[in-house]
Structure 1
Amino acid sequence: MRKSGKTEPTALFAKVPGKEYHRLIFRYPYQGDSMLAMSYHEAAKRLANSYRGQPIDDTMLLPFLTLYRQAFELRLKEMIRSFASLRRRFEEPDNPVLQPKAIEKRIRNSRILGHNLEALLNEMLEHANSLESVEDFPESTRELVVLLHEADSSGTAFRYSGELPDIQESLDFPDLVALLDAEFTMLGGVEDALTEMYAAGPQPEDEGGWC
């Protein structure tokens, strides 16, 4: 997990200190991108549960999509880190491209990966395909990530006005919720299946821990 190095409390949070247990909410320093991806997913589901089919519900569509886009982005980035770690540990320990700093540099570089969902998907698949994956990546999940990318290739189209088509559009919101939830869950299942497959197999002589 990456660390910020900061130790001072967040001034915004200190402005409203917790006083009563039933009113508390916590931010934990050990929340990595994987946990944050699940948090965005959970927040999106909770927002979707407030849908009542009323005109005011139109206001939740883009914030809802923003949450899901971020959830997919963070999940893909964690899969890249995880699969690169498996390649280092089991197959190419000396490959400089697979070292943690090199992977992190690619993830953070906006011209290489950054917030580009399609580029993140392709990078993740490159790592996955280099491993002994027992199953093909689900086509429906690949298609959904590409559709999200096409709708918001900049990472800002759901957050700011003026980047989506200049037309009025309607869609079935419960179907959208079900689609995004199913494919996000599928993406997590792919990561779990591959990491568990390696965890159950022969281990290298030098365990050394995950890196």
Structure 2
Amino acid sequence: MRKSGNTEPTALFAKVPGGEYDRLIFRYPYQSDTMLAMSYHEAAKRLAHSYHGQPIDDTVLLPFLTLYRQAFELRLKEMIRSFASLRRRFEEPGNPALQPKAIEKRLRNPRVLGHNLEALLNEMLEHADSLESAEDFPDSTRELVMLLHEADSSGTAFRYSGQLPDIQESLDFPDLAALLDEEFTMLGGIEDALTEMYAAGPQPEDEGDWY
């Protein structure tokens, strides 16, 4: 988990201090990108449940897609960190490209990985392939990530106007919501399965810091 080093309260939150238990909501400082990805996923599902097939529901489509795109991006980034950590601990402990600072530098560089879903997918699969698991990666999940990338390669097409095709489009929203939910859940299952497989095997004498 990366820390900002800032311990000052957020002024926006301090403007509306919590008092009554049934009105409280919390932000925790220990939230990882995995937890945030799950939060975006949960928010998207709640937004999807507000759909009733009415004209006003058209307004939720792009915010809904924005939430899911961010969820997929964060999940892929955490998979890269996790798989690089497994390679570092079990396969290539001396590889400088697998060190946490090197991984973070690649993740944060917009010219390398940044918000590019295709680049993130390929980086994750490269690590998975080194761990001999890429062959089990579902084609449907790979396709869905690429469809998201093609629709919003910049990471801003769902957030700002004028970047999607200049046409009117219609789609089945419940089917879209089910597709995104299924493939996002699949990504989490892939990460968990690989992590658990290595956790069940012989452990290095010096486990060090996973991240």
TM-score normalised by the shorter chain: which range applies? over 0.9
1:6 is aligned with what amino acid?
Answer: N
Q: Which residue of 1 aligns with 2:72?
A: 72
How far apart are residue 135 of structure 1 and its match?
A: 5.2
CA-to-aligned-CA distance 1:48-71 (integer Å, 9 cap, x gap): 000000000000000000000000
For 1:12 and 1:209, how far apart are their aligned partners in 2? 35
Is contact 2:129–2:135 with CA below 8 Å preserved after alignment? Answer: no
Q: Which residue of 2 aligns with 1:180?
A: 180
1:60 equivalenced with 2:37 (yes/no): no
Cα RMSD of the aligned pairs, angstroms, is 0.9
Is contact 2:84–2:127 with CA below 8 Å preserved after alignment? Answer: yes
CA-to-aligned-CA distance 1:10-51 (integer Å, 9 cap, x gap): 000000000111000000000010000000000000000000
For 2:94 and 2:209, how far apart are their aligned partners in 1? 16
Q: Which residue of 1 aligns with 2:154?
A: 154
CA-to-aligned-CA distance 1:83-140 (integer Å, 9 cap, x gap): 0000000011110000000000000000000000000000000000000328511000
* Larger relative contact order, structure 1 or 2 (CA cutoff 8 Å, min sep 6): 2
1:90 equivalenced with 2:86 (yes/no): no
For 1:120 and 1:207, how far apart are their aligned partners in 2? 26
Q: Which residue of 1 aligns with 2:108?
A: 108
1:125 is aligned with what amino acid?
Answer: L
1:200 is aligned with what amino acid?
Answer: A
How far apart are residue 207 of structure 1 and its match?
A: 2.3
SS of 1:82's equivalent in the other structure is helix
For 2:133 and 2:156, how far apart are their aligned partners in 1? 34
SS of 2:136's equivalent in the other structure is coil
For 1:208 and 1:109, how far apart are their aligned partners in 2? 26
SS of 1:111's equivalent in the other structure is coil
Aligned residues: 211
For 2:66 and 2:134, how far apart are their aligned partners in 1? 33
5+ long unaligned stretches in structure 2: none
Q: Which residue of 2 aligns with 1:198?
A: 198
5+ long unaligned stretches in structure 1: none
